[in-house]
């Protein structure tokens, strides 16, 4: 008979893509039905955040599961909620696969109780997060974000809070808590910045991983201990470090480790926050720079599905708001009148634009020309509507 599977995709990874992968890799083991749990991008963003905040139990069971789930052994997907109701509808279910690192969409405790194996894809976004981690270190040290914001507001800023002490990467010491998929990549990439002059200290709670580090990074100091332990941090002269990065698999541990580092005088701290619900708390505690894998992936994929004249997409945490950067095309609708006389979506606010290297603030009398770079803010639901003005 072989395995019977249901493959449920969504707007990010459609069911047909899962189906192609099944045909290529697993078709010899059995048959699979595919569908989409949520095909609308905006609705997917809303529903997945609800699942991550409140768990999968509040979601209804997908129609394909209700119709065909009774004799199915395996359920594979990305964000599809796997609740106790789903397991009731699939009494023969033995394997649940999630094509991402997080398992917030699966009631793992209930699956374990029923003897259902749950697996995920760890480290899927590790390359992107490690790149962002190092990029944010450089941006913070060199005031890249502050300078960009100043240019976008029409000013050329020459002084910053750290103008008297702008650190070179050369000769710096970076503290790194955790040596999982992300920590490992950050350490390797940092070692490429003149390895004889950039030094990293790695604090890892797992002894076996400490041994791994010493085998991979021969010139890196490895400390077996808890990165949240103030006495340990003092003992290792943390105050002499130029940056502190917490990228363990635990959001709580990363927040506490950065708080401890801040308390001991480290200015540059970076924490990976896996649970989106924790981001407002982390921001209120002023733990430094925050990285969230889901938001990084969502912004990148969202940019890919938008038009090619969208240069940048940023989701503003704790809200359903986005910042978009467009390049104005010749004869596009946005050039036909000033902003006051265009019938624009109500959920859109224009911030500013750059023309010939000079920044300007938008007003009702603003009219755009081909080649202008325009920054605006809008609700996610208005993205496609405003995009039509720049076609």
DSSP 333-366: GGGSS-GGGS---TTEEEEEEEETTEEEE--TT-
Identify the band that residue 197 occupies on the pLDDT scale cut at 50, 70 and 90: low
Mean pLDDT to the nearest integer, 248-270: 83
In this structure, what token pair is assigned to residue 78?
């990305």
Instruction: Look at domain 306-390 and name its CATH class.
Output: alpha beta
Which helix (H) or strand (E) element contains residue 326? strand 321-327
**Fold of the 126-296 domain:** Rossmann fold (3.40.50)
**Quick one: which of 289, 278, 20, 163 has its CA closest to 7?**
20
On whether the CB atoms of residues 117 and 108 are closer than 8 A, the answer is no
In this structure, what token pair is assigned to residue 51?
């699942």
pLDDT digits (tens, 9 = 90+) for 78-137: 999 999 999 999 999 999 999 987 888 999 999 999 999 999 987 777 888 888 888 887
Query: Tell me, what's the pLDDT at 129?
Result: 83
Identify the band that residue 297 occupies on the pLDDT scale cut at 50, 70 and 90: low
* Residue 345 vs residue 335, higher pLDDT: 335
DSSP 172-207: -EEEEE--SHHHHHHHHHHTTS-TTT-EEEEEES-H
On whether the CB atoms of residues 181 and 209 are closer than 8 A, the answer is no
Q: Cα–Cα distance between 113 and 298 in angstroms, integer?
A: 32
* Residue 2 vs residue 94, higher pLDDT: 94
Mean pLDDT to the nearest integer, 221-250: 82
Q: Where in the chain is the domain with CATH 3.30.70.1450?
A: 306-390
Mean pLDDT of the chain: 82
Identify the band that residue 307 occupies on the pLDDT scale cut at 50, 70 and 90: very low
**Quick one: which of 169, 147, 166, 167 has its CA closest to 158?**
147
Taking the model in full, what pTM does it have?
A: 0.49
Residue 123 Ramachandran class (φ > 0 left, ψ -120 to 50 alpha, else beta): left
Identify the band that residue 308 occupies on the pLDDT scale cut at 50, 70 and 90: very low
Query: Tell me, what's the pLDDT at 66?
Result: 96
Query: Tell me, what's the pLDDT at 119?
Result: 93
Architecture label for domain 3-120 = 3-Layer(aba) Sandwich (3.40)
Q: Is the dihedral of CA 391, 152, 317, 292 positive or negative?
A: positive
In this structure, what token pair is assigned to residue 366?
């603003």
Q: Where in the chain is the domain with CATH 3.40.50.720?
A: 3-120, 126-296
Q: Cα–Cα distance between 79 and 9 in angstroms, integer?
A: 8
In this structure, what token pair is assigned to residue 228?
């949240």
Query: Tell me, what's the pLDDT at 285?
Result: 74
Q: Cα–Cα distance between 324 and 344 in angstroms, integer?
A: 15
Q: Is the pLDDT of residue 366 over 80?
A: yes
CB atoms within 10 A of CB 361: 12
Query: Tell me, what's the pLDDT at 176?
Result: 78
Q: Cα–Cα distance between 82 and 95 in angstroms, integer?
A: 11
pLDDT digits (tens, 9 = 90+) for 154-194: 888 888 777 766 666 666 777 777 777 788 788 778 776 65
Query: Tell me, what's the pLDDT at 31?
Result: 94
pLDDT digits (tens, 9 = 90+) for 24-78: 999 999 999 999 999 988 888 889 888 888 889 999 999 999 999 999 999 999 9
* Residue 381 vs residue 85, higher pLDDT: 85
Q: Is 60 exposed, middle or buried (0-12, 13-18, 19+ CB in 10 A)?
A: exposed
Query: Tell me, what's the pLDDT at 70?
Result: 94
């Amino acid at each position: 008979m072989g395995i019977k599977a249901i493959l449920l995709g969504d707007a990010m990874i459609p069911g047909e893509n899962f189906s192609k992968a099944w045909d290529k890799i697993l078709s010899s083991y059995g048959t699979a039905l595919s569908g989409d749990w949520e095909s609308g991008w905006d609705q997917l963003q809303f529903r997945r955040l609800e699942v991550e905040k409140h768990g999968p139990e509040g979601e209804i069971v997908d129609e394909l599961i209700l119709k065909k789930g009774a004799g199915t052994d395996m359920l594979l997907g990305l964000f599809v909620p796997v609740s106790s109701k789903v397991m009731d509808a699939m009494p023969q279910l033995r394997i649940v696969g999630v094509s991402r690192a997080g398992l917030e969409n699966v009631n793992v405790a209930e699956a374990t109780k029923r003897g259902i194996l749950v697996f995920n894809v760890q480290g899927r976004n590790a390359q992107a997060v490690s790149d962002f981690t190092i990029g944010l270190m450089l941006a913070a040290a060199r005031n890249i974000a502050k300078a960009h914001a100043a240019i976008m507001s029409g000013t050329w800023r020459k002084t910053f809070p750290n103008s008297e002490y702008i650190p070179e990467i050369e000769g710096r010491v970076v503290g790194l808590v955790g040596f999982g998929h992300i920590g490992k990549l950050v350490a390797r990439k940092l070692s490429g910045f003149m390895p004889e002059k950039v030094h990293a200290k790695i604090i890892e709670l797992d002894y076996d991983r400490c041994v791994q580090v010493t085998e991979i990074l021969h010139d890196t100091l490895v400390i077996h201990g808890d990165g949240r332990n103030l006495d340990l941090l003092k003992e290792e002269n943390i105050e002499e470090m130029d940056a502190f990065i917490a990228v363990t698999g635990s959001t709580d541990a990363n927040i506490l480790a950065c708080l401890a580092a801040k308390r001991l005088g480290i200015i540059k701290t970076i924490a990976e926050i896996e649970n989106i619900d924790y981001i407002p708390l982390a921001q209120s505690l002023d733990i430094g720079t925050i990285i969230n894998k889901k938001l990084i992936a969502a912004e990148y994929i969202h940019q890919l599905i938008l038009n090619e004249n969208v240069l940048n997409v940023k989701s503003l945490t704790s809200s359903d708001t986005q910042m978009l950067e467009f390049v104005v095309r010749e004869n596009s609708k946005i050039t036909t009148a000033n902003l006051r006389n265009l019938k624009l979506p109500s959920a859109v606010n224009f911030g500013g634009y750059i023309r010939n290297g000079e920044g300007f603030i938008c007003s009702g009398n603003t009219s755009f020309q081909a080649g202008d770079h325009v920054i605006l803010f809008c609700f996610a639901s208005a993205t496609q509507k405003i995009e039509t003005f720049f076609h």
